[in-house]
Amino acid sequence: MGKKTAAIVGFSEWKPQKKWPTSMFSLEAMAQLAAETLADAKFEKHEIDGIVIGGVPESPVFAPSAVAEYLNLQTSFNEIVDLGGASPAGMIWRAAAAIEVGVCESVLVLCPGVPSPSYRDAKSKLLPTMIYMGGDAWGSPQSQWEIPVGLVAAVPSYAMAAQRYRAIYGYDEEILAKISVQHRDNAQANPNAIFYGKPITVDDVMISRYVADPIKLLEIVMPCDGGGAMLITSAERATRTPHRPTFVSGYGEFMTHKSITNMPDFLHSPLAAASERAFRMAGMRREEIDLACLYDSFTITVLLAIEGAGFCKPGQGQAFVREHDLRYHGDWPLNTHGGQLSFGQPRLAGGLSHFIEATRQIQGRADARQIAHCDRAFCSGSGGMLSEQIAVILEGA
Amino acid sequence: MMLAYAENGRPLPLVAPISQPFFDAAREQKLLLQKCPRDGFFFYPRSHCPHCLKTDWSWQPARASGKVYSFTIERMGQDPSQRARIPFVIAVVDLDEGVRIIGNIVDCAHEDVRVSMAVNVCFEIIDNMPLTCFRSVSAT
């Protein structure tokens, strides 16, 4: 089997909320997430010698040192990861790799997702940068050809991938709707999910309005506030933690473009190359996976991820979804927490939620939605316009 | 330098020096593409050929015809500056020269747009700035 040198031993996850009741500086949120994660793993703060973050609004440059200083940590591994929605996946494997090469022993991965008061003043300036994906700067190709014709944010890009899928393979909107519905069903067993208590049917999805054809409203993530963190440590230290060590046993990352216009083939995601590497590193076959936690920004993202990760051949994703039950009690459990589609997408922590759920299932901490047998989970991260693609395989000790 | 907006609120291309010839030609409804003597045409304008990173490329007139690779009908208007014109069609088109470019499909009913539809490139001029558009060949 795969590498058993770095393991996830604890985490913290905040219940997503549509609107966080108070604003909180991201440094404050990181301190709180760190405290909760250390408590979960029964670790002392002085044992931490690495941090990985996705950014600090209060300190856009020198960000890792701002965090180390605020938490009063002495660290030998400091990293900021800029891979959009795939950032948490990138943070996790970079932390594991740092432990494997021996530059540090215990790394905190911190993903606050609450409104920071430091954003408020800059809001009018930040909003365009966010919807333009940072492409509105002078000299950027997006500022010359894409933003002027209306290609902004993620929906139209993913819609073009879906439209291409429709033209090449055919497209059954009810099958895509099933992906949304079964994510929502999983959320009915997760009291922390933003759509807990709010099941939907295929008809609900079918009659929801088109946002960018062929993507409908109920096929899109629910952006919200929240947060998450993880602690990754060496195999040796992992043995003395209260939870089953969850090894980062294989990983891969692949990227080919920024804007969807420049994606070589809309139907062949860079996830394929990332997954090949991850499975090879873990020494595992697809059939040995007990749980899939796939980044789900849209239903088409899930469909392309099932194919890209090699769980079926390209073009056969719809047949795969038709033939399988994706619920926590089904034959091919997927995003048992509800995914970002139904658990919610608490900003950067949305991409971490897949890893927290996989860890929770492997550690036997998933309560009502615990799957019967969970030793191995495949997780993916997807950032940008199907650009930054990451595959990580987790395995219980 | 930041994005400039037309009188009707739409963002205009923020032209970089390397792409000035493209926009000057486009203003005259002509499509120019860069061509590398070894690797052929490429898009978008760049200082170095994206295949070999050499700089001996030249501007060449293009046929301005191609086929729709994919498209969507944008209905949400997440960009406030584009909201007034929703719904509109965004398409990526594979040109005969082998490169892919993006623009809006105009003068074609939204429900008639298809992947593989043959189109010609044209430019909509707003505030003297050209924005890339496509017209269905069968409609012209």
Q: Is residue B60 part of a domain?
A: yes
Q: Is residue A314 part of a domain?
A: yes
Long-range residue pairs from A125-129, CB within 8 A, at least 24 positions apart, any chain: A128/B3
Quick: pLDDT tens for A280-295. Answer: 999 999 999 999 999 9
Which residue type occupies A181?
A: V
Shortest distance, CA A8 to any CA of chain B (angstroms):
38
Quick: pLDDT tens for B5-27. Answer: 998 889 999 999 999 999 999 99
Q: What is the CA B7 to chain-centroid distance, rounded? A: 21
Which residue type occupies A165?
A: Y
Q: How many domains does chain B have?
A: 1
Q: What is d(CA B75, CA B66) in angstroms, rounded to the nearest whole number?
A: 25
Q: Is residue B101 part of a domain?
A: yes
Q: Is residue B5 part of a domain?
A: no
Q: Is residue B9 part of a domain?
A: no
Q: Is residue A149 part of a domain?
A: no
Full domain range(s) for residue B101: 19-136
**Chain B residue with Cα closest to A155:** B74
CATH number, residue A372:
3.40.47.10
A266 contacts in chain B (CB < 8 Å): 69-70
Shortest distance, CA A131 to any CA of chain B (angstroms):
7
Shortest distance, CA B94 to any CA of chain A (angstroms):
10
Q: Please classify residue A264 by burial: count the beta carbons closer than 10 Å to its beta carbon, then call 0-12 exposed, 13-18 middle and 19+ buried.
A: exposed
Taking each helix axis from N to C end, the angle separating A299-308 and A271-282, rounded to the nearest 10 degrees, works out to: 50
Average pLDDT over residues A74-91: 97
Q: Is residue B12 part of a domain?
A: no
CATH number, residue B93:
2.40.50.840
Cα A241 to Cα A66, A174, A354, B125, distances in angstroms: 28, 45, 22, 65
Rg (CA), chain B: 16
Quick: pLDDT tens for A225-280. Answer: 999 999 999 999 999 999 999 999 999 999 999 999 999 999 999 999 999 999 99
Q: Is residue B10 part of a domain?
A: no
Q: Residue A124 — pLDDT band, cuts 50, 70, 90?
A: low
Q: What is d(CA A301, CA A322) in angstroms, rounded to the nearest whole number?
A: 16
Q: How many domains does chain A have?
A: 1
Quick: pLDDT tens for A87-102. Answer: 999 999 999 999 999 9
Tell me how far apart the terminal alpha carbons of chain B are, to the nearest angstrom: 38
Q: What is d(CA A355, CA A248) in angstroms, rounded to the nearest whole number?
A: 10
Q: Is residue A133 part of a domain?
A: no
Q: Scanning the structure block, which residue is given the tokens 């966010």? A: A130
Give the mean pLDDT of chain A: 96
Quick: pLDDT tens for A15-42. Answer: 999 999 988 999 999 999 999 999 999 9
Full domain range(s) for residue A74: 6-119+221-396
Predicted structure pTM score:
0.97
Asked whether A152 and B79 are in contact (CB, 8 A), the reply is yes
A160/B71 CB distance under 8 A = yes
Q: Is residue B3 part of a domain?
A: no
pLDDT of the residue at A93: 98
Q: Residue A122 — pLDDT band, cuts 50, 70, 90?
A: low
Q: Residue A125 — pLDDT band, cuts 50, 70, 90?
A: low
